[in-house]
Amino acid sequence: MASPKRIPKSLQLELLSYSRSGAKKELAALQNWLSTKTNFAEVADALPQFFSRRNFCGAIGGAYGQQMFNPDRIAFELSLGGNYFPDIVIGDSQQKSLLLVELEGAETDAVFLKKKQDEQYPDFSSSFKTGFFQLIDWTNRLKDASPRNLHDWFTFEPACMRTLLVVGRNEDVGADPKDQGRRRLNSLAEMFGPSGNPVFVVTYDELATIVAAYLSGQ
């Protein structure tokens, strides 16, 4: 079986002509796609859906970015040197704000492994751990980067940055904030999120819900 075709890698953020009405249409299309899929992979399924919906990605930046009032920059698979390739980067060049996004799949056990009989809590999956700690690596990478590299990658030197991991479905963690799975994800993000650079972890369903609320409030 042939490997899924990857999204072309980028060397710098590109201009994004963000449209709120376009974002709403693309959100509806993504919600429809999610309603037809239970489990899906990152590279073959999820990333192409986001790649074809740039206004929706801009709305993700508005919903999660710090003071990202006008998302006007975007890139997919942006090279930050070495082995650092965020799936999606959204920027606001006026506010010098960045949001780096990692997509993981929504396969069975995408977030938690099946709990063993002697375990109180199920372990996190290897794909979840890989995705989550990439967020931390990116933050450290940008802290160590030179001003020239930052400008080359983003066209501006970022004043603020946030990171977001999208993984799994609500059934994997529970939709209620009081659910054990959701509380564990929130605790992990709070524990490892670098000071001043918040880390967000959401399911694909939560992402669609939060972006919908953001767009309805604009």
Evaluate whether residue 32 is within a structural domain.
yes
Evaluate whether residue 131 is within a structural domain.
yes
Please compute, for residue 19, the number of CA atoms within 13 A of its CA located in the half-sphere on the CB side.
9
Q: Can you name the residues that pair with 89 across neighbouring β-strands?
A: 75, 100
Evaluate whether residue 45 is within a structural domain.
yes
d(CA 57, CA 50): 7
Tell me the residue range of the domain where 152 lies. Answer: 18-217
pLDDT category at 28 given cuts 50, 70, 90 is very high
pTM: 0.91
CATH number of the domain that 84 lies in?
3.40.91
Phi, psi of 201 (to 5 degrees): -130, 120
Residue 1: its pLDDT value, please?
A: 45
Structure token digits, residue 9 = 């890698």
- Residue 68's CB: how many other CB atoms inside 10 A? 23
Q: Give me the mean pLDDT over the 191-200 stretch.
A: 70
- Residue 147's CB: how many other CB atoms inside 10 A? 8
Residue 175: its pLDDT value, please?
A: 64
- Judge contact between 64 and 99, C-beta under 8 A: yes
Residue 95: its pLDDT value, please?
A: 97
- 116-160 pLDDT, tens digit per residue, is 767 677 888 998 999 999 999 999 999 999 999 999 999 999 999
Q: In Å, what is the CA distance from 163 to each residue of 65, 121, 140, 171?
A: 8, 26, 12, 23
Evaluate whether residue 12 is within a structural domain.
no
d(CA 183, CA 187): 6
pLDDT over 70 (residue 196): no
Residues recorded for the chain: 218
How many structural domains are present in the chain? 1
pLDDT category at 103 given cuts 50, 70, 90 is very high
Evaluate whether residue 1 is within a structural domain.
no
- Tracing tokens 């999820």 back to the chain, one arrives at 46
The dihedral built from the CA positions of residue 29, 35, 36 and 37, taken in this order, carries a sign that is: positive
For all residues of the chain together, what is the average pLDDT?
A: 90
Evaluate whether residue 61 is within a structural domain.
yes
d(CA 160, CA 86): 16
Evaluate whether residue 2 is within a structural domain.
no
Evaluate whether residue 35 is within a structural domain.
yes
